[in-house]
Structures are given as structure tokens and as C-alpha cells.
Copies of this chain bind each other. A is one copy, B any other.
Amino acid sequence: MNSDPIKKQAWEKFEKRKKIKFINSLSGFKSANLVGTVDENSVVNLSIVSSFFHLGSDPALVGFVIRPDVSPRHTLDNIRKNKKCTLNHVNSNIYQKAHQTSARYDKEKSEFLECGLTEEYLNDFLAPFVKESTIKMSLEIQNEILIEENGTHLLIGKIKDVYLPDIIVSEDGYIDIEKAQSVCVSSLDSYHLTKRITRLSYAKPEQQLTEIDL
């Protein structure tokens, strides 16, 4: 396929919703996770978030972005109060329910109830997990950074307990998230299953890569 130029001058003139879908497609595939939180009155909240990224493994940190002006605003309110949330992988059995959590429900409504997902409480952690999710973990929020360029909020979470089936963890630590049917997202609304090509060995100069068996 040849790559045609769409210069800045061209895509900047797209109408608002078209531009949102176009720009959202550009960074590539995204993780699909549900963030569970709870407020001081025990009202729970659940939001789909596609901006989670690995930040480091020691300490074990993830980052994610919350826009204050859209649906996960209750998530941000709750996290600011108790610094706790859960991260739950969206899988192919629940992607429609997960997508529905992005609707603008009133604060007193539980997205678990409205979208047909089940609250689960594990190891005395304050925030709710998603029972239907196969890979999930508790996070303690360490920091919130305001991104001045557009008023979004970057949250940094420390990974605490992790819940997943033993059989998908390889000897070397690799987790076969494909086997757990975790999905990925592109643009705003497109859900994808994956098909592994291969794992590749650690790259060194002047050395041929080899494939790693699972």
C-alpha cells in the first residue's frame, strides 16, 4: 500500500467528530481496561479506559489518562478521594458491556448494574473488581499530573495484587493475555481480538533474532 500524504492543513479542517475518530486512530492499537472505583457513600463507578500504558516494572507502575470533561469524571473524583482503583482487562465476552460504561450515567448510578457486570471484592481492597474479567489487579494511585497542553490528567498507579489464571503465565513471566481473550481497541469504538505472530528474543547488535516458544 502506498502512503498518501494528509497534510496538517487537510486533516485540521475535518469536522469535529471526524477529527476525533481520525486522530484517535493514529497512535495504533490500545489496551482496553475497565477502571473500578468507589466514593465515600459506597457508590461504585466503572469506566472503560484505553490509555493505560506500562510505566515501569520496579516499582511496578502503570499510567493512564482521564479527561475531566467526559464520562470517567466520576472515576477521577473517586480516585482523588481514596487513591484506589482496580484495573480489569476487557475480554471478548464483555466488550459490549464494557463499551456501554462510556455512556454518561448519573453519578448515583452504578455502571456495574446499568451495564450488566458484576462487582467483586478481593483481599479487602476498597474498590470493586469486575468478576467477568479474567486478568485484574488493584492499583494505588501515587500521583496525578496535569497535562497543561490540553487539561487532561495523567494518573500514576502502583500495581498491588494481581489476579489471573496460573496457566496463562509462562515460566519466564510472560502472560498469554491472548489466551485470556483480552481485546484491544483502535480509534474510539473498534474492538479487536489478536493472533500472535511470535515472540522474539532479546535484541543484541550483530546477533540474529530467534523465536521464543511459549
Contacts and interface: CB of A to CB of B under 8 A. Distances in A.
Count identical subunits in the complex.
2
A96 to B, nearest CB: 6
A28 B90 CA distance: 9
Contacts of A22: 57, 169, 173-175
B56 A150 contact: yes
A28 B25 contact: no
A161 B28 contact: no
Interface of A: 1-8, 11, 14, 16-33, 50-63, 65, 67, 87, 89, 92, 95-96, 99-105, 109, 114, 122-123, 133-137, 142-143, 145, 147-150, 152, 154, 156, 158-170, 172-175, 177-178, 180, 182-184, 186-205, 207, 209, 212
B20 A203 contact: no
A186 B178 contact: yes
